[in-house]
Amino acid sequence: MKEGWAIAGFAVLAWYVCLPETVVYHGSRVAHLPAKASRSLLETEVDRAADAFGLRRSVLRALVRVESAYNPSAVSRVGARGLSQVMPANAARCGIDAGKLWDPTHNLRCGAQILREELDQHGDLHKALTVYNCGRVKCAEGQRYASKVISLSKING
């Protein structure tokens, strides 16, 4: 009988190892298990978030590159979290608990939603990115950030 369980366990493991990364990643997320994602999978998730909120993919990819260098565990000196560097207080703006900001998919979608809202409010990508970065339009650091993200999006666009 023990051999049967061992064979079944081996079969499940072999099946799991052969699954596409996206199935394993999202299955782990649904089961609330730690999910490690490759850069390629993270880029796919960035593109999905951009598409969901009507943003140019190259802009959201550049934002993530500048904000976190695609590190889902990144934390800024002021406490912003994850790939999109969303502040915990802004999680409610996206209708999620701040703890979900560690989930790359939730983080990307929240960051994309915030950028979309700022873009709709300000009507200009440079201003929207400036506000995304520092919370207001008149902010030298945010303006440099916006220029960097836009330049990077054009290079890699």
Query: What is the pLDDT averaged over residues 141-151?
Result: 98
DSSP-derived secondary structure for 90-157: GTGGGTS-GGGGGSHHHHHHHHHHHHHHHHHHHS-HHHHHHHHHHSSSS-HHHHHHHHHHHHHHHH--
The residue-averaged pLDDT of 49-74 equals 97
What secondary structure, in 3-state letters, does 11-59 show? HHHHHHHHCCHHHHHHHHHHCCCCCCCCHHHHHHHHHHHHHHCCCCHHH
Q: Average pLDDT in the 106-113 region?
A: 98
Nearby residues of 57 by Cβ (< 8 Å), 6 or more positions away:
46, 47, 50, 51
Average pLDDT over residues 54-67: 98
Mean pLDDT of 15-32: 64
pLDDT in tens, 81-105: 999 999 999 999 999 999 999 999 9
CATH 3.10.150.10 fits 38-155, yes or no: no
**Is pLDDT above 80 for 51?**
yes
pLDDT (0 to 100) of residue 14: 47
Give the largest Cα separation in the chain, rounded.
71
Residue 46 confidence (pLDDT) above 80: yes
Q: Which residues pair with 86 in a beta bridge?
A: 81
Give catalytic residues, as residue numbers: 67
Percent of the chain past pLDDT 90, that is, above it, reads 73
The segment(s) of the chain belonging to CATH 1.10.530.10 are: 38-155
Q: What is the pLDDT of residue 6?
A: 53
